[in-house]
Structure 1
Amino acid sequence: MKYLLLIHGDESKMSAATVVDETGMSPDYHAYNNAMAKAGVLLGGERLRPTKEAASVRVGEDGTQVLDGPYAETREQLGGYYMIDVSGIDEAVQWAARCPAARLGTIEVRPIWPTRAE
């Protein structure tokens, strides 16, 4: 079953992190990514750019509204994600707990609702 591991944390702290090599990853993330790849569970993932570069779109009766930045002010921002394919929620939670960001923020584990092409 596929899950998203959504990485939430304090964006100011994430932005202040030191890049340790040409990949832009810390040794902890490099090891985590390698462990997921070796286990065959990693389907993909990316780090997201800061919320100041984001736009939020809402369509209503008055037309389309585009807002700069995130829709809501929060203490934690979505900073990235991993998509994994594992046996169930318990295994997904185990992988989330191993994510280096879990020590500084929150990893939300969400099952993916499959989309069927017609």
Structure 2
Amino acid sequence: MTRSPFAPVTLAITRPLERATQVICYSVSKGAGVEFGPCRSSYGCNRKSQRRDHMPRFIFLQYMDESKAPRPGSPEMHSQIDAFARYLEELKTAGAFKDGDPCQPSATTFSVTVRDGRPKTADGPMHAESPWLNGYFVLECKDKADAAAWAAKNPAAHVGTVEVHPILTF
């Protein structure tokens, strides 16, 4: 293998096996390509995954009719913000919350496609008639039933739809 004079960046990919965890490291050095092989002394390569018990993660996509969304500063908006704050606190207390944020209005959305090697950007949502994706959460849940229970508690489910996707973890 060729060694680079530059410090390598090591990526560790953890793959759960039947009873153990396999860790494969890839060392990438500028100009040297990729070195495949077991971990050497790179920090963190031999550690087990930080996720507890390898619980499945799910992404919750929140959709609603944008024309029915409460206006900023209105009592309805404050009520919705309070409902999401309570939901977020419950998620954090349960240890389920991993990530999440609201999305800006659909007027700020754009789509990108690449055809024949050329990118094309279009303003607006991909499907003009589709509901507004107003936010997302990434949660760790025990199983599909647990994810469905958290989705039912999501305030967005009471005014729109929460679409739940299991996340494929490598």
Equivalent in the alignment of 1:108? 163
Structure 1 residue 62 displacement after superposition: 6.9
Which has the larger share of helix? Answer: 1
Which structure has more RCO (C-alpha within 8 Å, separation ≥ 6)?
A: 1
CA-atom RMSD, angstroms? 1.8
- TM-score, with structure 1 as normaliser: 0.86
Equivalent in the alignment of 2:106? 51
Q: 1:20 aligns with which of 71, 78, 97?
A: 78
Structure 1 residue 13 displacement after superposition: 2.2
Deviation readout 1:26-56 (Å, 9 max, x if unpaired):
2211111110000000001000001111110
Structure 1 residue 12 displacement after superposition: 2.3
Where does structure 1 lack aligned partners over 5 or more consecutive residues?
none
SS in structure 2 of the partner of residue 97 of structure 1: helix
- TM-score, with structure 2 as normaliser: 0.61
In structure 2, C-alpha distance between the alignment counterparts of 1:108 and 1:74, rounded to whole Å: 17
The 5 A counterparts of 1:1-118 are 1-14=56-69, 16=71, 18=74, 19-20=77-78, 26-61=81-116, 63-114=118-169, 116=170
Structure 1 residue 86 displacement after superposition: 1.0
For 2:158, give the aligned amino acid.
R
SS in structure 1 of the partner of residue 84 of structure 2: helix
Which stretches of structure 1, 4 residues or longer, exceed 6 Å deviation after superposition? Answer: none
For 1:37, give the aligned amino acid.
K
The alignment covers a number of residue pairs equal to 112
In structure 2, C-alpha distance between the alignment counterparts of 1:11 and 1:58, rounded to whole Å: 25
Structure 1 residue 61 displacement after superposition: 2.1
In structure 2, C-alpha distance between the alignment counterparts of 1:57 and 1:72, rounded to whole Å: 13
Q: 1:83 to 1:62 in 2, by over 3 A?
A: closer
SS in structure 2 of the partner of residue 27 of structure 1: helix
Q: 1:60 to 1:15 in 2, by over 3 A?
A: farther
Identity %: 29
